[in-house]
Amino acid sequence: MVRVVRATQVEIETAVQALRDGELVAFPTETVYGIGANAQNPAAVRRIFEAKGRPANHPVIVHLDSPKYLHRWVRAVPDGATRLAEAFWPGPLTMVMPRAAHVHDVVTGGQDTIAIRVPGHPMAQQLLTAFGGGIAAPSANRYGRLSPTRAEHVREELGDAVRVVLDGGECQIGLESTIVAFEGPTVRLLRPGSVTAAQIRAVVGELTIGPAQDSARVPGGLPSHYAPVTPLTIVPAGEIDAQADAASGGGKRIAVLAQRLPLRSHKYVTWINAGRRPESYGHDLYNNLRTLDRAGCQRILVQEVPEGERWDAIRDRLLRAATSVAQSDEGSGTLAVLP
């Protein structure tokens, strides 16, 4: 069971002052750690993009401590958003709605929509309540890389770019929030997360899955994202041992993320058994990939995860990580996802 940590009053006061001074603060949410800035300070929000190496046209999520402050950021709250907020906030759901007139383009990526979340982590709530405003906060990692689920991951990736890192221990969920948008009467699921499509349908009725051509750009919405530095390949479940043997031929070091132990020993293979439970697999995913990334291997082989809604968010993140490899390998003849 994940231990939930609260910050001391001194830590919160230090973080709040840093935000008011235009500095960056990293803090835990139940999903992943975020790198935050005062959402009403465009210069401070730009520092997030600089620290992450993030393209300027990518929107960031604004975190609030309560839905009652939505009117400060959103021009009109759809009826479906009100019902979803009642069901899932505070929690791992981000909603994309029409932005209020005063919201700066740097927050929205120049779009007419804004992404809002009310996180459930007690330390995030402490910080937001004490700050008394919105905190713009994407994941606290270098752009396109693995999201951080521990404070040490933030320090490893961003170093001195962050003034304060609030250490809340391991994130409870370990995967980014579910994102939905409202397009007229349509509720659209743009990124899967721990709030599932079935749970959303139970609240709003009809739900459309996946972005349309004119859907708003959202955090983590690109085909390539969430990637380790080591090239990552997804292989069919029944072929993981054979693929590990083949890839490690000639003494090449290979890393494997599987859902079981190996059927036989593999001399040059570092193997992690992540288990068959989607909640624990998702919770440990980024930490396991970081471990394998540091193992000095030439490639990470990931056993294809099962079908089913409980695995949707995990499958999404792994496919994006493999696509990152495919794009970096373009022209080399390397396939990132095997048939």
Residue 331 in this model has a pLDDT that exceeds 60: no
Tokens 């689920």 belong to 149
Q: Cα 288 vs. chain centroid, distance in angstroms?
A: 15
Question: Which uninterrupted H or E stretch holds 38?
Answer: strand 33-38
Q: What is the mean pLDDT of residues 123-151?
A: 96
Decide the pairing of beta strands 135-136 and 93-98.
unpaired
Residue 212 CB contacts under 8 Å (≥ 6 apart), including other chains? 183, 188
The model's pLDDT over 72-102, given as tens digits with 9 standing for 90+, comes to: 999 999 999 999 999 999 999 999 999 999 9
Rounded Cα distance, 189 and 182, in Å: 9
Residue type, 99: R
Tokens 């982590």 belong to 121
Residue spans in the chain of domains classed CATH 3.40.50: 232-328
Residue 337 in this model has a pLDDT that exceeds 60: no
| 186-191, Cβ contacts within 8 angstroms, sequence gap of 24 or more | 187/80, 188/212, 188/215, 190/96, 190/215, 190/216, 190/218, 190/221, 191/94, 191/218, 191/219, 191/220, 191/221, 191/316
User: pLDDT-derived band of residue 328, with 50, 70 and 90 as boundaries?
Assistant: very low
Q: What is the mean pLDDT of residues 151-173?
A: 95
Q: Could you tell me what percent of the chain has a pLDDT over 70? A: 92
Q: What token pair was written down for 159?
A: 């170093």
Q: What is the mean pLDDT of residues 237-245?
A: 95
Q: Provide the pLDDT for residue 6.
A: 78
User: pLDDT-derived band of residue 184, with 50, 70 and 90 as boundaries?
Assistant: confident
Rounded Cα distance, 146 and 32, in Å: 10
Residue type, 211: P
Q: Which CATH architecture has domain 232-328?
A: 3-Layer(aba) Sandwich (3.40)
Q: What token pair was written down for 127?
A: 């910080």
CATH class of 9-209: alpha beta
Rounded Cα distance, 109 and 62, in Å: 12
Greatest pairwise CA separation for the chain in angstroms: 62
Q: What token pair was written down for 189?
A: 């699921």
Mean pLDDT of the chain: 91
Question: Which uninterrupted H or E stretch holds 113?
Answer: strand 113-117
Q: Could you tell me what percent of the chain has a pLDDT over 90? A: 83
The model's pLDDT over 274-295, given as tens digits with 9 standing for 90+, comes to: 999 999 999 999 999 999 999 9
Rounded Cα distance, 87 and 95, in Å: 13
Of the candidates 205, 185, 178, 224, which has an alpha carbon nearest to the alpha carbon of residue 321?
224
Residue spans in the chain of domains classed CATH 3.90.870.10: 9-209
User: pLDDT-derived band of residue 214, with 50, 70 and 90 as boundaries?
Assistant: confident
Rounded Cα distance, 99 and 103, in Å: 7
Rounded Cα distance, 216 and 333, in Å: 33
Output the CA angle 246-249-251, nearest 5 degrees. 145
Q: What is the mean pLDDT of residues 103-108?
A: 96
CA dihedral sign, ordered 77, 80, 81, 86? positive
Residue 24 in this model has a pLDDT that exceeds 60: yes
